[in-house]
Amino acid sequence: MDRKTCDSRISDLEKKEDKVKQYLNALEHILQNGKDRDDRTCTGTRGVFGYQMRFDLRKSFPAITTKKLAWRSVVSELLWFLEGSTDERRLAEIHYGKERKDIIDKKTIWTANANKQGKDLGYTNTKTIKELGPVYGSQWRSWSGNNKTVDQIKNVIQDLQKDPNSRRHIVSAWNAVEIDKMALPPCHTMFQFHIQDKELSCQLYQRSADMFLGVPFNIASYSLLTCMLAKILNLNPGEFVWTGGDCHIYKNHFLQVEEQITRNPAPAPKLSMPEFQTIEQAVLAKPKDFQLVDYSPMESIKAPMAV
């Protein structure tokens, strides 16, 4: 092997390694180069403005392996969004597979928001109903504006089928008229689909990114959404592109992040999904129907969520 060929192979291996570690590289970049500032939660953050990562969905699924991903929570929340619900107790039913009256003591990733911001906004907050206002599910499936309601998910699927070359395949959760009514204004604000060579790709813009707790969850959620829509459209998954605005690490997560960046990622798993042909059929699936095959994550790293 000549020197040029050898150098080329080394470069390819380095690029592949960099792709595998890109999330860890993002954490390290923020720790080393980010700026400290106060925030809404009074916890304090260190962050950078503007960052991007790209994940290849063709042969594997970008579930983080340097700590355990809460996969069931990822699937449950996405099904909840796609159902159009804004009741946290409905999310609990999807997640635990039981009626809400039987899981009063069980929490979800949205419970704290419902009990604080949702309650402060005057929404119903009981043991069996915990309303959040017009958050993601409402915006995705019943966007309100100009005296009409729009099902953005249904529309984007139809538009992808009718006009695959369009540059307008966009879903937005940032409904300016209803922001003040939401228990939590959307952090992942808009996403765009792109079809090329019979592959469906998606780019998400996330205005506010909790890099340690939230972003691995968001990457998995939108990668799953992309794979689901690709299945409905009879396309192959392409890439998921994650673009962040305010990309931050909370100050009470520093030690956890420092531990995580010392870990070496394991091989990425593959995704197994149930059979469905429409979004309505997909929403009827159970979280257990979506599996990560050959997923071998390292131990979880616990950290508090800033609310």
SS3 content of the chain, % helix, strand, coil (to 5): 40, 25, 35
What single letter denotes the amino acid at residue 96? Answer: Y
Mean pLDDT calculated for residue range 54-71? 97
Q: Give the N- to C-terminal CA distance of the chain in Å, as an integer.
A: 57
- pLDDT for position 9: 46
Neighbours of 38 (CB within 10 A): 9
Here the contacts of 115-119 (C-beta below 8 Å, separation 24 or greater) are 116/183, 116/307, 117/183, 117/184, 117/307, 118/88, 118/183
**Right CATH for 19-68+151-293 from 3.20.20.300, 3.30.572.10, 3.30.70.330, 3.40.50.2000:** 3.30.572.10
- pLDDT for position 295: 97
Burial class for 164, CB neighbours closer than 10 Å (0-12, 13-18, 19+): middle
- pLDDT for position 2: 60
Catalytic pick from 42, 187, 227, 247? 187
Q: For residue 102, give the DSSP letter.
A: G
- pLDDT for position 307: 66
**Is residue 42 flagged as an active site residue?**
no
**Do 249 and 46 meet the contact criterion of CB atoms below 8 Å apart?**
yes
- pLDDT for position 145: 83
DSSP code string of 11-49: HHHHHHHHHHTHHHHHHHHHHHH-EEE--TTSS-EEEEE
For residue range 183-230, what is the model confidence (pLDDT) as tens digits? 999 999 999 999 999 999 999 999 999 999 999 999 999 999 999 999
Task: Return phi, psi of residue 261, to 5°.
Answer: -70, -5
Domain residue ranges in the chain: 19-68+151-293
